[in-house]
Amino acid sequence: MKETELELGDGRRLHVYDTGEGGGDGRPVVFWHHGTPNIGAPPEPLFAAGERLGVRWVSYDRPGYGGSTFRPGRDIASAAGDVAAVVDSLGIRRFTVMGHSGGGPHALACAALLGDRVSAVVSVSGMAPFGAEGLDWFAGMSDSSAASLRAALQGRAAKEAYEASAEYDPEMFTAEDHAALSGDWSWFGDVVGPALEAGPGGLIDDDLAYVSPWGFDLARIAVPVLLLHGGMDRVVPGSHGQWLARHCPTAELRFDPGAGHISVLNGGAAALDWLMSHRSAT
């Protein structure tokens, strides 16, 4: 894994991760979009499946996390420009994208806004836009998940005040989630802690973006999309995945009634197989 700093023309810096050998090395590229609050290191529990498929993982810390500087007022759509800058710097023309939780909307933004550069998308446990017609957005969320996002709806000051006293709530995860977090997906411990070392700023910017207009139209997505969602998810309820499946014209939904927010990632290797079967040449 190589980690580099990419300096952008607007003075910002992005911290980039890449398992490639430099330039367009010919391997299929999966651009990973991390959740909230995580740094952007690609998902080690999927590396074995990725090696079997010959995958090159590329990712970055979203602005405000890890080594990436803040981008005040960023929305979900702004990720597409940052991703384009990263892949351009690496000599990559075409790629696939995969995101978990808060990374899901950012992955969909790339599909909607980067045209034929993106060949396929996987979104795992991703949320629907706030205010989505016909969706009770908060229904099924744990108390802490709902409270965190409701604070964001009140603006930055209210969200900052909420985070100043917020504590980890284990009840947001199911027993199956906790089992996953004690097993292969204990990897999350490596990406959550570093994301918060400098404070909750990245998390706050993420949550403000989730409850604001996303800046793109899901109907613009023309490439294959696979949605993975668990019916027991207490962080982003399964109804969000079902709504997205109805409103993304190219989406396929794999809905696991017994899976939660983390345990649904046990299907990540199969999702990676799907992604590679739907990719086109890089």
This prediction has a pTM of 0.97
- Per-residue DSSP letters for 57-118? EEEEPPTTSTTSPP-TT--TTHHHHHHHHHHHHTT---EEEEEETTHHHHHHHHHHHSGGGE
CA–CA dist 8, 40 (Å, integer): 18
pLDDT in the model for residue 281: 47
pLDDT (0 to 100) of residue 282: 44
Name the β-bridge partners of 251.
225
Task: Calculate the dihedral angle through the C-alpha atoms of 149, 153, 157, 158, rounding to the nearest 10 degrees.
Answer: -60
- Which class for 229: exposed (0-12), middle (13-18), buried (19 or more C-beta within 10 A)? buried
Express each pLDDT in 126-156 by its tens digit: 999 999 999 999 999 999 999 999 999 999 9
Predicted confidence at residue 26, as pLDDT, reads 85
Q: Is the pLDDT of residue 256 over 60?
A: yes
> CA-to-CA distance for 31 and 8, rounded, in angstroms?
19
How does 111-148 read in b/e, with b if 16+ C-beta sit within 10 Å? Answer: bbbbeebbbbbbbbbbbbbbebeebebeebbbebbbeb
Q: 165-188 pLDDT, tens per residue?
A: 999 999 999 999 999 999 999 999
Which one-letter DSSP state was computed for residue 258? T
Dihedral angle at the C-alpha atoms of 103, 42, 24, 1, nearest 10 degrees? 150
Residue 256 CA: distances (Å) to CA of 14, 237, 267: 35, 12, 9
pLDDT at 269 over 50: yes
SS3 of residue 255 by DSSP: strand
Write b or e for each residue in 251-274: b if 16 or more Cβ atoms lie within 10 A of its Cβ, otherwise e: bebbebeebbbbbbbbbbbebbeb
> Cα angle vertex 159, ends 155, 163, to 5°?
175
Is the pLDDT at 59 greater than 80? The verdict is yes
Structure tokens at 139: 């229904």
How far apart are the C-alpha atoms of 133 and 280, rounded to whole Å? 34
**Region 97-103 average pLDDT:** 98
- The residue to which tokens 């229904």 are assigned: 139
Half-sphere exposure of 4 (CA within 13 A, CB side): 13
pLDDT above 70 covers a percentage of the chain that reads 99
Secondary structure percentages of the chain, helix, strand, coil, to 5: 40, 15, 40
In this prediction, residues 256-269 reach a mean pLDDT of 98
